[in-house]
Amino acid sequence: MPDLQNVIELIYHDIIKHKNYGEVASYIPELAAVDSEKLGVCLTTVDGQVFHVGDWQDRFSIQSIVKVLLLSLAYNKLGGQLWQRVGVEPSGTAFNSLGTLENDEGIPRNPFSNAGAIVISDILIDLYEDPRQAMIDMIRSVSGDPSIYFDTKVAASEKAEGFRNVALANFIKSLGNINNGVDDVLNLYFDCCSIAVNCEQLAKVFLFFANNGQTPDMNNVLLNPSQTKRMNAIMLTCGFYDEAGDFAYKVGLPGKSGVGGGIVAVLPKHFSIAVWSPRLNEKGNSYRGLKFLEKFTTETKLSIF
């Protein structure tokens, strides 16, 4: 194993020397106020080592990264029945696209599009008495950090401007793939997207995907090994919307991005790595985050390929 602390520091200092392209997610007003030059990295290994650099302790909005955790809660309860409501195919379309839903009879192509996550949120309302609490409890438990919280300002900002998601939810409801009230489903979805984390917390949350579905201390079993394999496969093929193929090609790790500027990726049996930089490229993924992870797997030769 290479000297990971030295590697991430070298890549960090190389990246911050160059121009930072992209824009913050200004369509969510609370995210528009974030310092766009921030860059933080934290890598945690399954044997308990932690490596970090930059703004790794700064909190940011988890946004679409939470879709992986929403899916895990549903998959844990339903198993393969889940795939009757949502597919596992790369969409090739933007994260908020309505385009394929009518032809697909309201079944989203995959659970990491906004449409897919909205359907998963509906499923969680049926499965849990309080899915909002189940989500935050799970994140706090697997990270070992009870301080993680819902950012109510971000949630309110999304609810005030989330017209596209309102359209998606109503469209899916009209096609028969949402059981509960649209407002209830969207409130759960927006609240979960608002969760505030830092790179260390996020890397620790995702470590169970590198460890056959359980936290390294064995205190939390979230998924069985077969489910974990499938979740990692969906992250690899669908975690970056219409840039998923590019991420697999350049980085070669299962992962997920969010418009808060976060990216998390895992190398099964080895580590989880979280990178945060708020400026997004035209596909809605962190510009510097992608650059960092591409350089990291190139330098270390640590990928699934």
Annotated binding site for substrate: 64, 114, 158, 165, 189, 241, 259
Is residue 189 part of the annotated active site? The answer reads yes
Distances (CA, A) of 45 to 85, 205, 281: 34, 12, 29
Q: Which of 24, 41, 53, 64 is catalytic?
A: 64
Catalytic residue flag (residue 229): no
Q: Which residues are annotated as a binding site?
A: 64, 114, 158, 165, 189, 241, 259
| Residue the block writes with tokens 């409501």 | 85
CA 294 to chain centre: 18
Rounded Cα distance between 219 and 205, Å, is 13
Q: Is 197 among the catalytic positions?
A: no
Q: List, in sequence order, every beta strand (DSSP E) within 138-269.
A: 149-150, 195-197, 255-257, 262-267
Residue with tokens 């090739």: 92
Catalytic residue among 41, 259, 264, 275: 259
> How many CB atoms sit inside 10 A of residue 184's CB?
14
249: Cβ–Cβ under 8 A, 6 or more apart, which residues?
A: none
Rounded-to-integer distance, Cα 90 and Cα 172, Å:
19
Q: Order across the sheet with 255-257: list the strands.
A: 50-54, 40-45, 271-276, 262-267, 255-257
For residues 47 and 36, give the distance between their C-alpha atoms in angstroms, rounded to a whole number: 33
Q: Which of 241, 256, 264, 295 is catalytic?
A: 241
Contact of 101 with 108, CB cutoff 8 Å: yes
Which residues on adjacent β-strands are paired with residue 267?
271
Catalytic residue from among 67, 256, 283, 291: 67
Active site residue 241: yes
Residue 27 appears among annotated catalytic residues? no
Separation between Cα atoms, residue 112 and residue 116, nearest integer Å? 6
Among residues 189, 266, 275, 291, the one annotated as catalytic is 189
Catalytic residues, by residue number, are: 64, 67, 189, 241, 259
